[in-house]
Amino acid sequence: MSPAEPIREATVADVDRLLELQSLCFGGEAWTRGMVEEELRRPGSIFLVAGSPVDGFACAWAILDDLHLLQIAVHPARRREGHASCLHAAVLDAARRQAVAGWLEVRADNAGGIAFYERHGWVPVGKRTRYYADGCDALVYRISFSSPPRT
Ligand SMILES: CC(C)(COP(=O)(O)OP(=O)(O)OC[C@H]1O[C@@H](n2cnc3c(N)ncnc32)[C@H](O)[C@@H]1OP(=O)(O)O)[C@@H](O)C(=O)NCCC(=O)NCCS
């Protein structure tokens, strides 16, 4: 995968690879096959993949004027090459027509994820205590679509 490689919508043909990436990137919190398939079918879901074979993906919901960024992940061997940044830009572009703001939750112990989101202009606005099954807090982040995208 290279940052120049086109990003496309995920399809049912990607499900097996998406499950591999789920397991590699999220371990015990990986989505199941049923969850991935549900996101592919869900109206308003933005589910994008990059690479051939697929090495990264992003999934979000566009609901009314909010974007909810659910997951963004890149194969561990392909990180720090700008791939998540390209996927992130594509998701925000897809939502920009209708969204006023974006929202996400990230584990408070996910230093890499937090650094990535803050690098891209997301601002911490709250905390959900013991939000995750293992007791970890969730940090809530927001981004305003009136701000120009950061590269
Ligand atoms: C977070 C994640 C998606 C970043 O993917 P990536 O392709 O490596 O990200 P990029 O290369 O586009 O990074 C862009 C910038 O974000 C920041 N960043 C990304 N990963 C970082 C890390 N582990 N530590 C610190 N900063 C990081 C840096 O500023 C980076 O720029 P730089 O490489 O020039 O320093 C990836 O580490 C991942 O898949 N993690 C596991 C899943 C996850 O936690 N997802 C987020 C919560 S859903």
Residue 49's CB is within 10 A of a number of other CB atoms, namely 23
Long-range interactions of 9-17: CB distance < 8 A, separation 24+: 9/47, 9/48, 9/49, 10/40, 10/47, 10/48, 10/49, 10/54, 10/57, 10/59, 11/40, 12/37, 12/40, 14/49, 14/54, 14/57, 15/40, 17/53, 17/54
Tokens 């992003």 appear where?
A: 58
- Convert the pLDDT of each residue in 78-126 to its tens digit: 999 999 999 999 999 999 888 999 999 999 999 999 999 999 999 999 9
Please give the number of the atom of ligand 1 that sits closest to the Cα of 86: 12
Please give the number of the atom of ligand 1 that sits closest to the Cα of 83: 7
The whole model's pTM is what?
Answer: 0.94
37 lines ligand 1 (CB under 6 A): no
Residue 151 confidence (pLDDT) above 90: no
Residue 4 confidence (pLDDT) above 60: no
> Which among 29, 72, 67 is positioned nearest to 48, based on CA atoms?
72
What's the gap in Å between 67 CA and the centre of ligand 1?
A: 20
User: What token pair was written down for 57?
Assistant: 């993906």
Residue 2 confidence (pLDDT) above 90: no
Domains in the chain: ranges and CATH = 7-144 (3.40.630.30)
